[in-house]
Amino acid sequence: MENPCKLKTETRNYSQPSRASLEVVGAPEYMMGWHLNNLCNFQCEYCFCSKDTLSREHPDCGKYSQQHIAKCFDDTGKMWRIHMSGGETFLYPRFVELAEVLTEKHYISINTNLSTPNVYEFADVIPPEKVLTINAALHIMERNKRKGGQEKYIDKFLYLQDKGFDIRLEYVTYPPLFHRLVKDIEHFRSQGIKVINLKIFRGTYRGKLYPESYTNDEKLVINSYAVDTREISILEERKVNFFGMLCSAGKKSFRLDVSGQLTRCATLRKEYGNFFTGKYYFGESPVPCPVKECGCSYEGMRLVQNQKGSAFSIFKERVLEEYFRIRPLISRKVLGIVNKEGGRVFNGESL
């Protein structure tokens, strides 16, 4: 950690941008959080995915054609915000073509590290007005392992920014980075990058749990540089617990995995079928959140209503969540038995 007095001096000399929620305003009512691939060319220390997962692509990635995937969204009769994350999204097979067919009728947003050359093609082909946000994670430690890593990031970022895309530099407040965080932000801003957002690190480092373990000086830096009010809510108010509150996840918002499986959100395992095969359903009304810590606070802050569910509905959702938690274990046992008998299995049930 850098000298606290120095950090305080640097933050006083910084002209803080206006702070507001960076949640998209005017986005489509329905949202799909699509984890479309696993493969990533970065190995960030703080990534929630294991290095083994990120080092190889999921066998179902690219299984369905771009046209089939777009048709799956079109056939719902709804307009979607399709938020794509990975892995590294631009490593998805024929990613630009996928984005092109999806944006014919829907809107997309993307998490990316801006490391691949097809970023330029994307900027030239896709209409900026159909891309709600591009969250361009800097990952400075990985960038510095590559020749010209920072310069290449800046070039792609500015290319997209100049084309009119709503793009934000995302900087994770990982504890070992605080000694350089202020200088990094000043440097990238001096290069013409307009929006730089701090992302609160949630996890453990050297046996300490974050964000609870940030020092007062580290919190001062975050408060001085964060431009998204949601990050401050996570840091100061610990907005991660929505237990029992009614939530639209499973009704108007879902998580979609590489294979097409729909679950209620990034935290919960409650299943709604397979989106790519057309065998799925949507919930009819908001239901209570059954867990005491939201794995994605951004989803929680967007979808949770200011109303608590009944005691019975909370109990019901807790039972369902426990069922879907242990179901894979049961399915594997059933699968082993059925395979020995030469049968076929769908989600652990014989067909």
Q: Distance between CA 266 and CA 255 in Å, rounded?
A: 6
Mean pLDDT check: name the lowest of 21-35, 102-116, 170-184, 274-288: 21-35
Whether the pLDDT of residue 180 is over 60: the answer is yes
What does pTM read for this prediction?
0.86
Q: pLDDT at position 135, please? A: 96
Whether the pLDDT of residue 109 is over 70: the answer is yes
- Token pair 């990982």 in the structure block, residue: 174
Burial class (CB in 10 A: 0-12, 13-18, 19+), 296: middle
Say if CB 201 and CB 173 are below 8 A apart: yes
Question: Which of the four pLDDT bands, split at 50, 70 and 90, describes residue 4?
Answer: very low
Which stretch of DSSP H or E encloses residue 108? Answer: strand 107-112
Q: Distance between CA 252 and CA 29 in Å, rounded?
A: 7
**Can you spell out the DSSP letters for 177-230?**
GTTTHHHHHHHHHHTT---EEEE---EEETTEEETTT--HHHHHHHHHH--BHH
Q: What is the mean pLDDT of residues 103-107?
A: 98
Say if CB 107 and CB 28 are below 8 A apart: yes
The more confidently predicted of residues 232 and 262 is: 262
Q: Parallel, antiparallel, or unpaired: how do β-strands 261-263 and 271-274 relate? A: antiparallel
Q: Sign (positive/negative) of CA torsion 205, 208, 212, 216?
A: negative
Question: Which of the four pLDDT bands, split at 50, 70 and 90, describes residue 232?
Answer: confident
Give the start-end residues of each E strand in 9-70.
30-35
Whether the pLDDT of residue 130 is over 50: the answer is yes
Question: Which of the four pLDDT bands, split at 50, 70 and 90, describes residue 253?
Answer: very high
Whether the pLDDT of residue 25 is over 80: the answer is no
- Residues of the chain above pLDDT 90, percent: 73
Question: Which of the four pLDDT bands, split at 50, 70 and 90, describes residue 18?
Answer: low
Q: pLDDT at position 343, please? A: 33
The HSE-up count of residue 206 (CA atoms within 13 Å, CB side) is 5
Q: Distance between CA 98 and CA 338 in Å, rounded?
A: 37
Q: What is the mean pLDDT of residues 137-159?
A: 96
Q: What is the mean pLDDT of residues 160-173?
A: 97
Q: pLDDT at position 240, please? A: 78
The fold of the 4-247 domain, in CATH, is TIM Barrel (3.20.20)
Q: Sign (positive/negative) of CA torsion 301, 302, 306, 308?
A: negative
Q: Please, what is the average pLDDT of the chain?
A: 87
Q: Side chain identity at 297, as an amino acid letter?
A: S
Question: Which of the four pLDDT bands, split at 50, 70 and 90, describes residue 20?
Answer: low
The predicted-structure confidence for 315-349, as pLDDT tens digits, reads as follows 999 999 999 988 877 755 544 443 343 333 333 33
Q: Would you list the domain boundaries of the chain?
A: 4-247, 253-350
